[in-house]
């Protein structure tokens, strides 16, 4: 087999990367002799320990991580942390896959709980249970259980969650005031939600085009999921060991249809054309969209809003309350050479000091209870004023199934939901195709 591909199995970490086969050596020499100068950056001095951390997020979020790293450098001058920042989650996922496949992942990676299982299943993440057991300062009891739970893979804790958010409604208070509407309450219902959105959807100049929309949301499985749960439905047949999508269950179907009709029937959400012209989040930022569904992630960006006042409200409820878990965790990769340094950073990042820093940026709902209850998160001087709802509703939070092919399933189903949402297919057709097309990935899932 060419290039000793069979040996690649042993190529974890450094062993193989530096043991080049003879052909490879010739290749490397030829290439190097051709273009070596000025290509490789100088190596860092040997006495400093260096680790790399890869994160995703908007520029405002990146700043928070830079601050965290700066504080860590002060506390641990011997360890340098290099930040690798990828703006979009989608590219981030690809980048992670490519890096792992190449055997060159960052030492620490921030991964969402929906996306880590594929890597855990392939053994490229290093469990952190032993480090936690050895670290007397850190007790898992100090963290919210719903954030920790999804990161157990085969009963081992793989990653350390930094945050747990639910889906919430960001709303433009000025637009509510102009329309003479009361702000959302903590127990508003689907009907209240729809009526409010309708009242806020307006054609301001009378040209027959909607200039201001009541609501904005991604048309994705992840956004529709909490509504399905609120309607006593579910995404999959058996959440602990799913083998099939269950969107065709009447309760689930009804919730999907309700969600889709927000756009197709009620027109309170921008249609496909309007969304392509300018996406909902941008419309919200420029004050032309009243309510936007997002997790805590949006806060650093929304804090840059100067033209209107805004706040957060919990999701409306239906047959029951339900939120959806958004949680990202620091994971150590198996390839990491200085695992101790990597752990030092994780421990710092989830410590009170570390979480307080990132919490102040607005980016996270801290996974550490003490920080979530502290002014670092709840400071009434910073927006959103109603931050408390993030922790008040933690008990309603549910998580999507943790499985190695969940990313693929979400993508496939998302395309169908999007199609229905923009009126290009009926809800039933979309659900039917979603079930058919996703079935393969239930079977491919590594447990």
Partner 1 sequence: MSRTRHRSPTDWGWQLVAGGLALLFGLPLYWLFTSSLRPAGSPPPRTVEWFPHAATLTNYQRIFALAPFGHYLLNSLIVASLAVPLTLLTASLAGFAMARAPVPIQRSLLLFSVTLLLIPTAALWLPRYILFARLGLLDTWLPLLAPTLMGSNALYVLLFYWSFRRISPELFDAARLEGSSTFGLWWRIGMPLVRPTSLVVLILSFLAYWNDFLTPFLYLKSESRYLLPVGISLLHQMDTTQFPLLLAGAVIMTLPALVLFWAVQHTFWYEGRFSELAHTDEV
Partner 2 sequence: MNRSLILMLIPYGCGALLLVLLPALLIFALAFTTYDGLAAPQWVGDQTFQDVRFDPVFPIAVHNTLIFVGVSLPLRVLLALGLALLLERRRRGVRFYRAAIYTPTVIPDVAYALIWLWILNPLYGPLTLALRAIGIDPPAWLVQPETALLTLVAVGLFQIGESFVVLLVGLHNIPLEYHEQAKLDGGGVWQRFRYITLPLLFPWLLLITVRDLLLLTQQSFVPAYLMTGGGPYYATTTLPMLIYAEAFDRLRFGHGAAMLLLQSLVIAVLVLVGVGLARLILWGRSV
Where on the chain is the footprint of partner 2 (CB under 8 A)? Answer: 1-2, 5-9, 27, 30, 34, 93-94, 97-98, 100-102, 118, 122-124, 272-274, 276-278, 407-408, 411, 415, 418-419, 422, 424-425, 436-437, 440
Among 104, 185, 241, 436, binds partner 1 (CB under 8 A): 104
Between 103 and 226, name the residue whose CB sits nearer to partner 1.
Answer: 103
Between 212 and 386, name the residue whose CB sits nearer to partner 1.
Answer: 212
- Helix, strand, coil tally for the chain in percent (to 5): 45, 15, 35
Which x/- pattern over 70-99 shows residues binding partner 1 (rule: CB under 8 A)? ------------x-xxxxx-xx---x--xx
Which x/- pattern over 36-55 shows residues binding partner 1 (rule: CB under 8 A)? x-xxxx--------------
Q: Does 134 bind partner 1 (CB under 8 A)?
A: no
Between 32 and 140, name the residue whose CB sits nearer to partner 1.
Answer: 32
d(CA 34, CA 48): 32
d(CA 236, CA 166): 20
Between 82 and 440, name the residue whose CB sits nearer to partner 2.
Answer: 440
By CB under 8 A, the residues from 332 to 391 that bind partner 1 are none
User: Do residues 367 and 327 make contact, with C-beta atoms less than 8 angstroms apart?
Assistant: yes
Residue 40's binding partner among partner 1, partner 2, none (Cβ under 5 to 8 angstroms by kind) is partner 1
Q: Does 319 bind partner 1 (CB under 8 A)?
A: no
Residue 87's binding partner among partner 2, partner 1, none (Cβ under 5 to 8 angstroms by kind) is partner 1
Q: Which of 407, 401, 216, 419 is nearest to 324 (CA)?
A: 401
Residue 272's binding partner among partner 2, partner 1, none (Cβ under 5 to 8 angstroms by kind) is partner 2
Residue 86's binding partner among partner 1, partner 2, none (Cβ under 5 to 8 angstroms by kind) is partner 1
Beta-bridged to residue 53, according to DSSP, are 83, 108
Q: Does 17 bind partner 1 (CB under 8 A)?
A: yes
> How many residues in the chain?
447
d(CA 291, CA 221): 19
User: Do residues 108 and 125 make contact, with C-beta atoms less than 8 angstroms apart?
Assistant: no
d(CA 401, CA 434): 17
d(CA 364, CA 39): 38
d(CA 264, CA 257): 10
- What residues have CB less than 8 Å from 122, skipping those under 6 apart? 100, 404, 446
Between 321 and 419, name the residue whose CB sits nearer to partner 2.
Answer: 419
Residue 24's binding partner among partner 1, partner 2, none (Cβ under 5 to 8 angstroms by kind) is partner 1
Residue 51: Cβ within 10 Å count: 22
C-alpha pair distances (Å), 425 with each of 225, 247, 377, 407, 434: 19, 15, 43, 23, 12
Between 35 and 182, name the residue whose CB sits nearer to partner 1.
Answer: 35
- What residues have CB less than 8 Å from 185, skipping those under 6 apart? 192, 313
Output the smallest distance, CB 425 to partner 2, in A: 8
Output the smallest distance, CB 172 to partner 2, in A: 21
d(CA 335, CA 96): 13
Binding region for partner 1 (CB under 8 A) out of 12-20, 119-127, 413-421, 422-430: 12-20
User: Do residues 169 and 312 make contact, with C-beta atoms less than 8 angstroms apart?
Assistant: yes
Residue 273's binding partner among partner 1, partner 2, none (Cβ under 5 to 8 angstroms by kind) is partner 2
Between 72 and 284, name the residue whose CB sits nearer to partner 1.
Answer: 284
Residue 424's binding partner among partner 2, partner 1, none (Cβ under 5 to 8 angstroms by kind) is partner 2
d(CA 368, CA 361): 16
**Six token digits for residue 276:** 């392509």
Residue 104's binding partner among partner 2, partner 1, none (Cβ under 5 to 8 angstroms by kind) is partner 1
Name the residues that contact partner 1, by CB under 8 A: 3, 5, 8, 11, 17-18, 20, 24, 27-28, 30-32, 34-36, 38-41, 58-59, 82, 84-88, 90-91, 95, 98-99, 101-104, 277-279, 282, 286
């Amino acid at each position: 087999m060419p290039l000793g591909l069979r040996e690649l199995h042993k190529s974890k970490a450094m062993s193989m990367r530096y043991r080049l086969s003879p052909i490879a050596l010739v290749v490397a020499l030829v290439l190097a002799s051709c273009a070596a100068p000025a290509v490789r950056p100088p190596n860092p001095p040997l006495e400093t320990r260096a680790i790399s951390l890869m994160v995703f997020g908007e520029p405002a979020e990146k700043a928070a991580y830079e601050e965290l790293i700066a504080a860590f450098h002060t506390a641990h001058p011997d360890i340098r942390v290099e930040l690798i920042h990828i703006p979009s989650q989608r590219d981030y996922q690809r980048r992670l896959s490519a890096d792992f496949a190449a055997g060159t992942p960052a030492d620490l990676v921030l991964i969402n709980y929906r996306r880590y299982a594929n890597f855990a299943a392939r053994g490229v993440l290093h469990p952190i249970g032993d480090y936690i057991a050895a670290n007397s300062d850190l007790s898992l009891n100090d963290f919210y259980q719903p954030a920790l739970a999804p990161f157990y893979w085969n009963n081992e804790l793989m990653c350390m969650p930094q945050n747990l958010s639910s889906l919430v409604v960001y709303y433009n208070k000025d637009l509510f005031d102009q329309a003479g509407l009361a702000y959302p309450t903590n127990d508003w219902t689907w009907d209240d939600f729809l009526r409010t959105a309708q009242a806020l959807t307006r054609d301001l100049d009378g040209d027959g085009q909607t200039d201001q929309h009541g609501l904005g949301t991604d048309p994705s499985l992840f956004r529709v999921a909490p509504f399905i749960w609120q309607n006593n439905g579910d995404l999959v047949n058996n959440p602990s060991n799913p083998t099939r999508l269950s969107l065709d269950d009447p309760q689930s179907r009804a919730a999907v249809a309700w969600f889709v009709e927000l756009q197709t029937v009620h027109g309170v959400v921008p249609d496909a054309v309007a969304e392509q012209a300018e996406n909902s989040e941008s419309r919200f930022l420029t004050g032309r969209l009243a309510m936007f569904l997002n997790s805590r992630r949006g806060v650093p960006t929304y804090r840059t809003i100067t033209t209107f006042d805004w706040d957060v409200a919990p999701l409306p409820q239906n047959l029951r309350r339900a939120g959806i878990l958004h949680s990202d965790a620091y994971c150590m990769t198996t390839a990491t050479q200085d695992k101790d340094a990597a752990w030092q950073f994780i421990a710092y990042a989830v410590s009170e000091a570390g979480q307080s820093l990132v919490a102040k940026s607005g980016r996270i709902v801290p996974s550490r209870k003490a920080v979530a209850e502290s002014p670092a998160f709840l400071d009434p001087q910073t927006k959103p004023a109603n931050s408390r709802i993030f922790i008040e509703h933690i008990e309603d939070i549910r998580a999507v199934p943790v499985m190695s092919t969940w990313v693929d399933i979400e993508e496939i189903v998302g395309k169908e939901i999007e199609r229905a949402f923009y009126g290009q297919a009926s809800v039933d057709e979309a659900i039917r195709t979603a079930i058919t097309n996703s079935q393969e990935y239930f079977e491919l899932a590594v447990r």
